[in-house]
Chains A and B, each alone.
Chain A
């Protein structure tokens, strides 16, 4: 069965770029759509965006100006870049696969100087 694992820095400074990578095993990234979801401490879930290996993307309108998703089929990985972060971007970031929505375990990213 598919497994997803997020990786990246746990601490990012304000105004900098948050970068995370999700490594997929047990499935080809050439199938389905691959997404990022976040959850601020004590709050609900928020859709960030998804990407298809064809290059199709869809972003949350509230984050669209700061987000870029990319995909590397050779490594079976996809990535998130979130620019100009503030403390409001502190959250657990999850990567996930569509169709059944399989979740990674999540990684906490704190924005602080």
Chain B
């Protein structure tokens, strides 16, 4: 079964920049895997930030951006704010099936 990996935890300073990544245990991520990124705060429903690699929703803060980086999907946060502290999940589409990453706990400190 396909496994999607993410960094378990990352820390960023307020105002700083951090990149979260998402990839397969074997093989590169491409735009054909339609990468998604979600933000989830405790007790809340996940919120979709990025879909189709780099497309933002109307509610996605401009400081978030999506890309492909070194064979992985990437979510870059530039100018971190305290309210960005959350769990971030990615989703990749492989062979028509959806596979979630295990999540990255982002601390803003």
**Residues of chain A having any CB pair with chain B under 8 Å:** 35, 37, 44-47, 50, 58, 60-62, 94, 99-106
Contact = CB atoms under 8 A, between A and B. Distances in A.
Contact of A94 (B36, B45, B96, B101): B45
17 contacts: A44-B102, A45-B103, A47-B99, A47-B100, A50-B98, A60-B97, A61-B1, A61-B97, A62-B1, A100-B51, A101-B91, A102-B48, A103-B45, A103-B47, A103-B48, A104-B45, A105-B45
A92 B100 CA distance: 16
* Main DSSP-derived SS at the B contact region: strand
Given A47-B97, A60-B97, A102-B48, 7 more contacts: A44-B103, A46-B100, A61-B1, A61-B97, A100-B55, A101-B36, A104-B45
Contact of A100 (B48, B97, B99): B48
Contact of B48 (A60, A61, A62, A101): A101
B89 A45 contact: yes
B57 interface: yes
A45 B45 contact: no
